[in-house]
Structure 1
Amino acid sequence: MTDLLSPLENKTMPEIVPGRRISGSVAGLFDARHGHFGTQATDKLELSFEGILGDYHAGLTRKSGGREPWYPRGTQMRNERQISLVAPDELDAIAGGLDIVEVKPEWIGANMVVEGIPFFSMLPPRTLLFFEGGVTLKVDGQASPCKFSGKAVAGHAGATDVAAMSLEFVRVAKRLRGLVAWVEKPGTIMSGEKVEARIPEQWYYPG
């Protein structure tokens, strides 16, 4: 019988880092119910498989944009960006990089602030977020900072050169802008809930 592993005999397989669990908590909740990406504080989020009920980013599908250059702009596709999550220490780091007092989550359209999980924006795709009340979110990946969010930050911060700060935000907020996720198991999330991040096995593809 042919040995199925023989083609790999002389190859070095990548190191596999085991999965693990890290606990945190929900420090703030926000929704966008006014037809714009900017959010406002709320004490709970009602989630269906489409995302946050009534939210600007809700939907099973969405239209492609600049993040998906492989499709014509406006192509209907799966909505993997239903929920935007950020961490308070990373928002503080962005504010420091921009030399302003603060960056509030609602300025950049965040739906949730999660504290207690270090390097939050670096949680890998496929990480599952299990909430105390029963909701599960699946991380799609990092949220890429954009000029629209930068313009909102510059406006709220009273920048003298809005265009310049908008571009600087894109640079400073890279790898700190948080995560986007979609609803795997719907329900209600309450402010103050505990959340557990279950990080999958990780490896670098060597090809």
Structure 2
Amino acid sequence: MSDQLSLLPNTFETTPKFRISGRIEGVFGTSGKDDFRTDPVDCLELTFEGIPGDRHAGFTRLSGGREPWYPRGTEMCNERQVSLLSSEELTEIAAQLQIEEVKPEWVGANFLLSQIPALTRIPARTRLVFESGLVIRVDGDNLPCRFAGAAIAQNYPDREGLDLLFAQKARGLRGLVGYVEKPGIARPGEEVVAHIPEQWIYRRS
């Protein structure tokens, strides 16, 4: 076993770290913790707990269907404080659903970003460094669900099945979730730089 482990690093093909610059197109907050949808705001002031007053704020959260390894309702670290979406990917989702548009506030976005290609595919551990000094650490992609699909469907009452279709078509386009690594303020129009870490594929031998 020790011989196998000593050889394992030599099988990795790594990609060096790099940076990509983007732009904040909009920021959004919730009016109350029980409200799924968000509303456009002039700015967001984030603390180590996330967005004060937001339904996803807090150092911890309760586990749900995404964490089958815990009993539902188990208190755990909150790595899903904020939701970040791509304007380009929302356009693609709308095209896939054959509807006019998908607004970020319909699906509970906190940040709408642009100019970062394939935002949803950005790897975990990426640091999003905002012009103001705010830093958000990416936990991973946000899987599409029927709840978000139902929120979209409310805006297209003549279309049936959009809730289920969204869960199918938006996979890989639904954006990211992350947590605040360094507090700060975010405003539309500001630059954001994605610091992509060194990457490799850890394959099963």
Q: Give the TM-score range, shorter chain.
A: over 0.9
CA distance in 2, matches of 1:122, 1:10: 25
Deviation, structure 1 residue 165: 1.2
Counterpart of 1:194?
Answer: 191
1:95 aligned residue:
94
Partners of 2:19 and 2:48 lie apart in 1 by: 24
- Does 184-193 or 173-182 show the bigger shift? 184-193
In the TM superposition, residue 33 of structure 1 has moved relative to its aligned partner by 2.2
Q: 1:80 is matched with which residue? A: 79
Instruction: Give the TM-score of the pair, scaled to structure 1.
Output: 0.93
In structure 1, C-alpha distance between the alignment counterparts of 2:4 and 2:93, rounded to whole Å: 49
Spell out the pairing of 1:139-154 with structure 2 (5 A cutoff).
Answer: 139-154=138-153
Which letter maps to 1:178?
A: G
C-alpha distance in structure 2 between counterparts of 1:153 and 1:197, whole Å: 28
Please list every run of 5 or more consecutive structure 1 residues that lacks an aligned counterpart in the other structure: none
Residue deviations 1:4-27, cap 9 Å, x none?
989635985110000100001100
Structure 1 residue 53, shift from structure 2 partner: 1.2
Task: Report the Cα distance in structure 2 between the residues aligned to 1:192 and 1:114, rounded to whole angstroms.
Answer: 10
Mark the CA change 1:88 to 1:11 in structure 2 (over 3 Å): closer, same or farther.
closer
Q: TM-score, normalised by structure 2?
A: 0.94
Matches of residues 1-207 of structure 1 in structure 2 within 5 Å? Answer: 8-9=6-7, 12-34=10-32, 35-161=34-160, 164-207=161-204
Asked if 2 retains the 8 angstrom alpha-carbon contact of 1:47 and 1:53, the reply is yes
CA distance in 1, matches of 2:5, 2:27: 51
RMSD of equivalent CA atoms:
1.7
Give a deviation string over 1:120-161, Cα, whole Å, max 9, x none: 111000000000101000000000101000000011122442
Q: Where do 4+ consecutive residues of structure 1 move more than 6 Å? A: none
Question: Cα distance 1:169–1:10, how it changes in 2: closer, same or farther (>3 A)?
Answer: closer
The one-letter amino acid paired with 1:118 is P
Distance 1:18 1:72, change over 3 A: same
1:52 match: secondary structure = coil
Structure index of larger Rg: 1
Q: Does the 8 Å CA contact 1:159/1:165 hold for their aligned counterparts?
A: no
Call closer, same or farther: CA 1:8–1:74 in 2, change over 3 Å. Answer: same
Change (3 A) 1:33 1:204: same
Unaligned runs of 5+ in 2: none
- Whole-Å Cα distance in 2 between the matches of residues 75 and 133 of structure 1? 35
Superposed CA deviations along residues 38-89 of structure 1, whole A, max 9, x for unmatched, are 1000010010100011111111111111100111111111110000000011
State the aligned residue count. 202
Tell me the distance in 2 between the aligned counterparts of 1:167 and 1:47.
Answer: 33
Seq. identity, %: 50
SS state at 1:201 partner: coil
